[in-house]
Amino acid sequence: MQTTRVAILGLGAMGSRIATNLLGAQYPVTVWNRSTQPVEALSSLGATVAHTPKQAAEETDVVISIVTDNDASKAVWAAPDTGAIFGLTADKIAIEMSTLTASWAEELAHTISQQGSKFLAAPVVGSRPQAEAQKLISLVGGDASTLEKVSAILASSSAAIHYIGSVPQAMTMKLAVNALFGIQVAAIAELLGLLKQQGIIPTAAMDCLSQLPVTSPAAKGAGTLMTAENHTPMFPIHLVEKDFRYACAGGINTPTTTAIRQIFQAAIAQGYGNENITAIAHLFL
């Protein structure tokens, strides 16, 4: 049994799997979530249940948040009376694994460091299958010596850990990764639609494209799901659009990212927001 106690705040698709991996690695795990069903499932596996993020932070050594967006992160960390910040002390380490704006991550890091606790941004690349297979990629920002202290914890769900630099740099890197993926998915959907108009059926088009060096593994995988009409949500379109919005929020010139965001916005407007990113194909096929 490991001696470092770990809290997981947020038990969505990723948080629940990360908590499960930590339990499998023999860490004492405390969990908190707004709804009770995932809490009950983790409790049955041996996790301790906290009633508030503050309580989870008080009872553990390392506190990890992995939630949907800035607003959820602010509620988890800073809600009056219940926020995890109020349970932190100088000997604890806080880790934000959510995909957020660089500005909020930097503000959160400053607030936590002011009271003496350590903070890392560690957003992860990958979805449910990678989390279950312990093959996420962690992109870490913050103090390198703090990373050394929690590297084994991150490794319980990660195949690789990349130290990026500062907290905002790590968060911006994650947004760039997601934007690059989304751009490729949108391009494949659009081009499959173009080829279909010329009488080339999508499966035949993907058979050809998949064998060419211009098609990345990510684009190949997305295109294959599109032609199979398999849009089981792993990275829902509403979250894709959120990440594009955050990537465009820094005041930098991002014409390509901005244009592709509009396509995902159109998909949400047509009712595909809860489907997988590949459901953008509905706009073209």
Are the C-beta atoms of 100 and 172 separated by less than 8 Å? Answer: no
In the beta sheet, which residues pair with residue 29?
6
The model's confidence at residue 97, banded by pLDDT at 50, 70 and 90, is: very high
How far apart are the C-alpha atoms of 244 and 63, rounded to whole Å?
Answer: 27
Once rounded to an integer, what is the mean pLDDT over residues 33-47?
95
In this prediction, residue 252 carries a pLDDT of 86
Give 227-282 pLDDT, tens digit per residue: 999 999 999 999 999 999 999 997 889 999 999 999 999 999 999 999 999 999 99
In this prediction, residue 207 carries a pLDDT of 98
In this prediction, residue 34 carries a pLDDT of 93
In this prediction, residue 169 carries a pLDDT of 98
In this prediction, residue 155 carries a pLDDT of 98
In this prediction, residue 95 carries a pLDDT of 98
Once rounded to an integer, what is the mean pLDDT over residues 61-71?
98
How many Å separate Cα 211 from the centre of its chain? 30
Are the C-beta atoms of 175 and 243 separated by less than 8 Å? Answer: yes
How far apart are the C-alpha atoms of 244 and 10, rounded to whole Å?
Answer: 22
pTM: 0.96
C-alpha neighbours within 13 Å on the C-beta side of residue 234: 15
Give 106-136 pLDDT, tens digit per residue: 999 999 999 899 999 999 999 999 999 999 9
Are the C-beta atoms of 276 and 234 separated by less than 8 Å? Answer: yes
